[in-house]
């Protein structure tokens, strides 16, 4: 028996539903010595902005129980250098390249970025990152910035504006740092997003008790890894019941069993993030593991698993 792993997200056809998550896979070539990159369903680029960004001052990462905190601050070379230097490297993987974009200055920057990327055949889809918790650069601003994805009206407006700028598959990446993520997912769907991806990192903080210093220079950072998995699975499950467009689930997926949780909760595809730092073969192993699970359980198509959790309500 052969199991079907292929999945469609908008116009995007993926041979399997496993992607490398934004910001956790370098520009893919770093991983070529560990796995056959062609095995991946897709690769999502580190988020880019119109102009280059240095990112936040170090220390920008630290380990936490069952996870890590990061405050990279969207370090990236900017649109032009990305197109000229990084995109060709990503394309060499031979799998669809999803380009993640963010704005330092409101929705017109999103529109400009999407408009430029729309013209490039090498770009398979665009993911709008309206959920990065690390985009402010000073301690003083740390508490004051509201994310677009913390406001359904702002989410709707940005997605609607970007939708007009591109015919490519559009994915909206949502933040877990909200009371009700389903409001944002529904706003993104109403505005024409082809899919939502969730979750970005959960805001957290760690203190070095010897020095009484925060372990991250920007004080707070984004928590990722297995520590956030139950939050992510719960949010996928909540969103699945409210929208019709596909969900790309992520947050602490480490192995096949944790990947399966996301499909059963309602994800159509998944992204592997922090696991790449611990096991650079994680994504490839999960693809093999999903196929084996389907065959062992006589399930013909991975789509039969989506939303299949036996929950009462």
Residues 221-280 that bind ligand FMN (CB under 6 A): 224-225, 228, 250-253, 273-275
Q: Output the six-digit token pair for 24.
A: 């956790």
**Contact pattern for ligand FMN over residues 20 through 49, marking x by CB under 6 A:** -xxxx---------------------xx--
Which residues of the chain form beta strands (DSSP E)?
Answer: 7-9, 12-14, 18-20, 42-44, 61-64, 67-70, 97-101, 125-129, 169-173, 195-198, 202-205, 207-208, 213-214, 220-224, 247-249, 269-272
Q: How many angstroms separate the CA atoms of 97 and 124, rounded?
A: 5
Instruction: For residue 208, give both structure tokens.
Output: 């070095």
Site for ligand FMN in 173-192 (CB under 6 A): 173
Q: Which of 144, 139, 129, 151 is nearest to 250 (CA)?
A: 129
Among 169, 201, 220, 258, binds ligand FMN (CB under 6 A): 201
Catalytic residue among 62, 85, 116, 132: 132
Name which of 216 and 250 has its Cβ closer to ligand FMN: 250
| Residues 257, 267: Cα–Cα separation, whole Å | 14
CB 230 within 8 A of CB 199: no
Distance CA(308)–CA(60), nearest Å, equals 38
Toward ligand FMN, which CB reaches closer, 93 or 134? 134
Nearest-CB residue to ligand FMN? 23
Site string for ligand FMN, 133-172 (x = CB under 6 A): ----------------------------------------
**Pairing label, strands 125-129, 202-205:** unpaired
How many residues bind ligand FMN, per CB under 6 A?
25
Nearer to ligand FMN, 152 or 225 (CB): 225
Active site residue 85: no
Enumerate the active-site residues: 132
Q: Which residues bind ligand FMN (CB under 6 A)?
A: 21-24, 46-47, 70, 72, 74, 100, 129, 132, 173, 200-201, 224-225, 228, 250-253, 273-275
């Amino acid at each position: 028996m052969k199991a079907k792993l292929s999945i469609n997200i908008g116009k995007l056809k993926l041979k399997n539903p496993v992607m490398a998550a934004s910001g956790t896979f370098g520009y893919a070539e770093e991983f070529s010595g560990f796995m056959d990159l062609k095995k991946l369903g897709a690769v999502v680029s580190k988020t880019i902005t119109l102009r280059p960004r240095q990112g936040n001052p170090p220390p920008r990462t630290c380990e936490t129980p069952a996870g890590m905190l990061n405050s990279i601050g969207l370090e990236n070379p900017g649109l032009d250098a990305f197109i000229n230097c990084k995109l060709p490297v990503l394309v060499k993987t031979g799998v669809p390249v999803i380009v993640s974009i963010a704005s330092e200055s409101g929705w017109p920057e999103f529109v400009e970025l999407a408009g430029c990327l729309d013209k490039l055949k090498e770009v398979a889809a665009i993911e709008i990152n309206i959920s990065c918790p690390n985009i402010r650069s000073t301690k003083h601003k740390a508490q004051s910035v509201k994310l677009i994805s913390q406001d359904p009206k702002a989410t709707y407006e940005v997605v609607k504006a970007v939708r007009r700028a591109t015919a490519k598959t559009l994915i909206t990446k949502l933040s877990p740092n909200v009371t009700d993520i389903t409001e944002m997912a529904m706003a993104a769907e109403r505005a024409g997003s082809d899919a939502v991806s969730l979750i970005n990192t959960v805001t957290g903080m760690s203190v070095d008790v010897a020095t009484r210093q925060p372990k991250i220079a920007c004080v707070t950072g984004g928590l990722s890894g297995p520590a956030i998995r139950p939050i992510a699975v719960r949010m996928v499950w909540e969103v699945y019941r409210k929208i019709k467009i596909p969900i790309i689930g992520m947050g602490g997926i480490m192995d096949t069993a944790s990947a399966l949780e996301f499909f059963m909760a309602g994800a159509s595809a998944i992204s592997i993030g922090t696991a790449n730092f611990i096991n650079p073969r994680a994504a490839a192993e999960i693809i093999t593991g999903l196929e084996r699970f389907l065959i062992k359980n006589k399930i013909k198509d991975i789509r039969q698993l989506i939303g299949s959790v036996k929950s009462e309500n």
